A and B are shown apart, each in its own frame.
Chain A
Amino acid sequence: MRIDQVVVSASPGDAITNFALTLRQLLLPDARSDVFAYYYDERLASEIVPLSEYGARPGARKDRDLLVLHVSIGEPAVADFVLKRPERLVIIYHNISPSEPFRPYDPGFADLLDAGRDELKRLRPRAELVLADSEYNACELRDLGFEQVDVLPIVANVEDLRDTEADAALAERLRTHHDGPVILFVGQLLPHKRADFLIEAFHILSTYRMRDANLVLVGSHRLPGYAGALQSQIEELHLDRATLAGSVSKPMLAAYMRRADLFVTASEHEGFCVPLLEAMAFDLPFQARRFTAIPETAGDAGLILDADDGPAVAAEAWAQLLTDEPLRKTLVERGRVRLAAFEPAVTKQAWRQALLGLARLA
């Protein structure tokens, strides 16, 4: 039995790539599973198979083999390929970001996002099993006409990061160079994540409330135009204690998480929000905003601002979370409880059963 997986793009550190590789490992005792990608980073050459080689594998058995498609963006070539394959189709929906925030920076990429939703509609009649990793994502699919969508809890593996030894040189520099509280954001610097909102809130915090506070934004600069605008924003506001750290290794991320006093995100679109679970794993209180799947991910473990709360309220919330010890303690305890719902042993088993269950129904 084969349960092969297809992703549009695979790169190191990418959450969907990591999830596909985890799934491959989970299925291995019962099914062979390769991960194919249309675009992929050379550093993953030993893990990922180019989609162009899919045809080179032994012929598929229409009644038994599964093809699992991870959907997070559109790519007409991939959709066309999947529609021609005889295997039974499984769709795992990780959410497609809205295109509007991307359009000023990369219209081509925005078009691909729009195409993704159209492709989902084309794939719908072929899908035998549709899985989503949050109720919010499931709702989106139902709005697109999918009748039966199952929600499975995400396999987050945050313990892996928590147990990673921190990069010693970075940890030392953070200790000696950041004398005030450190506020941390982790995530790709993309327009819908609203790092510009965080910088505005930090400007208010550091100008009027806590001059010694530091803001560190960790994450890859996927859109150079947006990252450059953020850099200009920081420089023009003279925020010498705000840093764009860029993409970092796992030991470096562990160093940032251990040094941080508060985790923040202003994201306006998340199909799920793994960094919130990572914050919980490091006993970090966090602040987020009431958008899409964020309240569902956070539960009662964080301070969630309403969508229309501006940067001044965010700055006030940060000051409160940095100084109110009983509040911090309460949120950390709630975070530990919330994190237990994503126990990897349980979530992995759920995904394994869902896929193998369908395969064995043949």
Chain B
Amino acid sequence: MPALLERLRATVAERRASGEYPPDLEADLDAHFRRIIASRAQMPRLATLHRRIEEARRASRFSPDRIPTSTRLPGGAVLHKGMSRLFLRQAIGILDQVKEFADRTLEALDAAAAVAESPDTHHHADLVELVDAHSELLAGRLSTAAPAADDLQALALRVEMLEHEVAERRWRPWFGRNRFDAVFDRGERDRLRRAASAALDGRTPVLCVEVAAGASPLATLATTADASLGAVVAVSVEDTLSAQQMVDLIAMAFEKLSPEGRLVLSRGTAPSAPSPEPQSEPSTPSEPSAPLRPTFDPTLGPSLPARYAVFVCREAGFSTVDCEEWSPDGYLVVATR
């Protein structure tokens, strides 16, 4: 085992050195989680409140059986038991009233805790004032350094596009489409090619850098003259290239494309056959809902591979980059020089 551990550590060191792992990967992840914790700094008080309520709930068990009848005095236990039988009806009546009061009190405490936990259900005048102050400050800054109208229009268009993307993504199934297609082999690669061809919009000449046996997409591109291509199409190359090679491929494609030339990257399954929506997924009445709730929420944002490809294209210098997502890790990216 020690030898295996040493080998694993060496492999990780190699991945870091080769650039496969970004520098400071673990430190960034650690900082990310610490930021999440810091944003929840108000939680301890709520946790204490919840714990105290639970303690009160556990203590709210009322029964005549819990009234001790034992005593060290001779014959005392018999006397106590006799007395408790005699006044049992009264004792139960009192306990019922106490229990009712305790139940109502616990409900009120639960409601108070829920209010404290959901800031959107109540109003904090102090926070509103703070937000107003910051808004005024921001408005002041914007008025002194107003961006050009074109920039604002581009920003508005971008926001509109993102809103449209989010709206489109809302009911897209989080599971399945890749998996179903892979299982039934519905000609995924052909559909990817068709989708990529449609995005070329008549540009020529076209260089396809699909990964074939023994062929390297980077080597294929490297032999082409700069600014000589109308389009570069790369279908599912990401599956076989490292992160650094993807960056190199996109940067090299930019060099090889003529002005207005297009780079088309596609991956995963293009939408064609209808796929089941999450709500139509077969289920049994007894199935547990919580344990299998997917933690991925498609409305939160695009999946990492697509975001990564879009980011790298922009960094490479492409003037417009459009992205259509097909599934959590399937996409079509069209970048125009």
Contact = CB atoms under 8 A, between A and B. Distances in A.
Given A55-B68, A232-B36, A316-B12, A204 B21 contact: yes
A252 B69 CA distance: 44
Contacts of B243: 208
Contacts of B4: 303, 320, 327
Given A57-B70, A243-B295, A169 B288 contact: yes
A224 B40 CA distance: 11
A235 B51 contact: no
A228 interface: yes
B301 interface: yes
A229 B37 CA distance: 6
A333 interface: no
B303 A238 contact: yes
B89 interface: no
Interface centre among B44, B72, B290, B303 (most CB of A within 10 A): B44
A239 B300 CA distance: 12
A25 B286 CA distance: 33
A359 interface: no
B104 interface: no
B154 interface: no
Interface in B1-32: 1, 4-5, 8-9, 11-12, 15-16, 20-21, 25-26, 29-30, 32
A170 B51 contact: no
Contacts of A224: 43, 46-47, 50
A268 to B, nearest CB: 14
B48 interface: yes
B292 interface: yes
B208 to A, nearest CB: 24
B95 to A, nearest CB: 15
A170 B288 contact: yes
Interface string B295-328: 1110011011000000000000000000000001
Interface stretch (A27-35, A105-113, A119-127): A105-113
B5 to A, nearest CB: 7
Contacts of B58: 39-42
A234 B301 CA distance: 13
A225 B40 contact: yes
Nearest to B297: A235
Contacts of A241: 296
Interface stretch (A45-53, A132-140, A153-161, A342-350): A45-53
A200 B29 contact: yes
Nearest to A324: B4
Contacts of B293: 243
A231 interface: yes
A204 B61 CA distance: 49
Nearest to B295: A234
Interface centre among B5, B48, B175, B328 (most CB of A within 10 A): B5
Contacts of B47: 105-106, 108-109, 223-225
B287 interface: yes
Contact of B61 (A50, A229, A238): A50
A170 B295 CA distance: 17
A357 interface: no
Contacts of A177: 175, 292
A86 B4 CA distance: 56
A242 interface: yes
Interface string A288-314: 000000000000100111100111110
B61 A45 contact: yes
A240 B21 contact: no
Given A177-B175, A204-B21, A224-B50, A52 B66 contact: yes
Interface in B251-288: 284, 286-288
Nearest to B48: A108
A236 B32 CA distance: 9
Contacts of B5: 303, 305-306, 309, 313, 317
A55 B15 CA distance: 65
A361 interface: no
Nearest to B174: A240
Nearest to B288: A170
Contact of A231 (B15, B46, B295): B295
B210 interface: no
A199 B243 CA distance: 21
A58 B44 CA distance: 43
Given A52-B66, A105-B47, A239 B296 contact: yes
B179 interface: yes
A298 to B, nearest CB: 11
B297 A320 contact: no
Nearest to B50: A224
A203 B61 contact: no
Contacts of B16: 312
B33 A233 contact: yes
B75 interface: no
Nearest to A327: B4
A56 interface: yes
Given A104-B37, A104-B44, A236-B36, 17 more contacts: A39-B55, A42-B58, A50-B61, A103-B44, A105-B47, A107-B48, A169-B288, A225-B47, A228-B40, A235-B295, A239-B296, A240-B303, A243-B292, A243-B294, A303-B1, A309-B9, A312-B12
Top 5 A-B pairs ranked by shortest CB distance?
Answer: A240-B296, A225-B43, A56-B68, A106-B47, A245-B291
Interface of A: 39-42, 45, 50, 52-53, 55-59, 103-109, 167, 169-170, 173, 177, 179, 196, 199-200, 203-204, 207-208, 211, 218, 223-225, 228-229, 231-246, 248, 252, 300, 303-306, 309-313, 316-317, 320, 327
Interface of B: 1, 4-5, 8-9, 11-12, 15-16, 20-21, 25-26, 29-30, 32-33, 36-37, 40-41, 43-44, 46-48, 50-52, 55, 58, 61, 66, 68-70, 72, 174-175, 179, 243, 284, 286-288, 290-297, 300-301, 303-304, 328-329
13 contacts: A40-B58, A53-B66, A103-B44, A108-B47, A204-B29, A224-B46, A225-B44, A233-B33, A238-B296, A240-B174, A245-B290, A248-B291, A312-B16
